[in-house]
Amino acid sequence: MVVSRRKCICRNILVATILLFIHCHTGNAQELEYKMELGAMAGASFYLGDANYSGLYKNTGLGGGLMGRYNINPRMSLKFNILSGKISGDAANLQNKFPEIEGQQWKFDQSVVDVGCQYEISFWAFGTGAGYKGTRRLTPYIEAGLGFTQTKDVFTMNIPFGIGIKYKLKERWNVGIDWTIRFSMSDGLDGISDPYSIKGGFLKNKDSYSFTMIYISYDLFPKLRKCNND
């Protein structure tokens, strides 16, 4: 009787071990989700304001920095960034004339530092494409958020809006391209404020700048930790 009970216990332990092994390997084979990702960005920056009011990518400078994502679910993320880029402009060739600037001689060239967070929504669930969740390796996304801008003379808030597209290169590696425009709360990023003598509002008559960035990132902290020791 005792021997039979021991055999039963051993058989149950063996079955439970096999089921756990199958569950873990099936989960890995289907798809893993990760809580966070960290990466680097590099690309171009340009300025829009009193010295360049309509020319996209005019006087383009270099930019780059670090980014991180906290993945709420496969479609929604919080993206954080620390970026730096060059912005510049020259009013000499503008058709508009500034009443307070004699001879139209006004240009600038300086660096801008941006620290911010954007709420990102993907068009489709993002993942390796394996398993039952129907995720896709490639998806476009939209984003909006809040940030802070620092130049040599100005510190202000900004509101970023943007679009992007990302691709799951491997299980933990992601690549993408990200375009954002940052609407600042200041009219002094270009070194001059209110050259038309027109009173500004919340975002009216304010300077803005844009980043176009290519990035690569690495996933961290798998959600299925019991079945994954990577």
Tell me the average pLDDT across 71-95.
Answer: 88
Residue 203: beta bridge partners?
Answer: none
Using the structure block, give the residue that is written with the tokens 């993408």. Answer: 176
CA dist 152 to 42, 63, 205, 211, Å? 22, 16, 20, 19
Using the structure block, give the residue that is written with the tokens 């970026």. Answer: 83
Provide the CATH topology of domain 33-227.
Porin (2.40.160)
Give yes or no for residue 7 having a pLDDT over 60. no
Q: What SS3 state is found at 126?
A: strand
Tell me the average pLDDT across 114-128.
Answer: 95
At 171-206, the pLDDT tens digits run: 899 999 999 999 999 988 887 765 555 565 555 578
pLDDT of residue 8: 60
pLDDT of residue 205: 74
Burial class (CB in 10 A: 0-12, 13-18, 19+), 229: exposed
Cα 182 to Cα 1: distance, rounded to the nearest angstrom: 77
Q: Describe the chain by its helix, strand, coil percentages, rounded to 5.
A: 15, 50, 35
Task: Please answer whether residues 181 and 203 qualify as being in contact, where contact means their C-beta atoms are separated by less than 8 angstroms.
Answer: no
Give yes or no for residue 229 having a pLDDT over 80. no
Tell me how many helices (H) and strands (E) the chain has.
Answer: 1, 8
What are the φ/ψ torsions at residue 104 (nearest 5 degrees)? Answer: 60, 20
At 128-170, the pLDDT tens digits run: 876 656 789 999 999 999 999 999 989 999 999 999 999 999 8
Non-local (6+) Cβ contacts of 221 within 8 A are 34, 35, 36
What are the φ/ψ torsions at residue 16 (nearest 5 degrees)? Answer: -65, -40
pLDDT of residue 220: 94
Cα 160 to Cα 32: distance, rounded to the nearest angstrom: 31
Residue 49's CB is within 10 A of a number of other CB atoms, namely 22
Give yes or no for residue 214 having a pLDDT over 70. yes
Give yes or no for residue 20 having a pLDDT over 70. no
Share of the chain above pLDDT 90, in %: 52
Task: Please answer whether residues 94 and 51 qualify as being in contact, where contact means their C-beta atoms are separated by less than 8 angstroms.
Answer: yes
Task: Please answer whether residues 205 and 178 qualify as being in contact, where contact means their C-beta atoms are separated by less than 8 angstroms.
Answer: no
Give yes or no for residue 98 having a pLDDT over 90. no
**What are the sequence ranges of the domains in the chain?**
1-30, 33-227
Tell me the average pLDDT across 199-214.
Answer: 78
Tokens in use for 52?
A: 């360049």
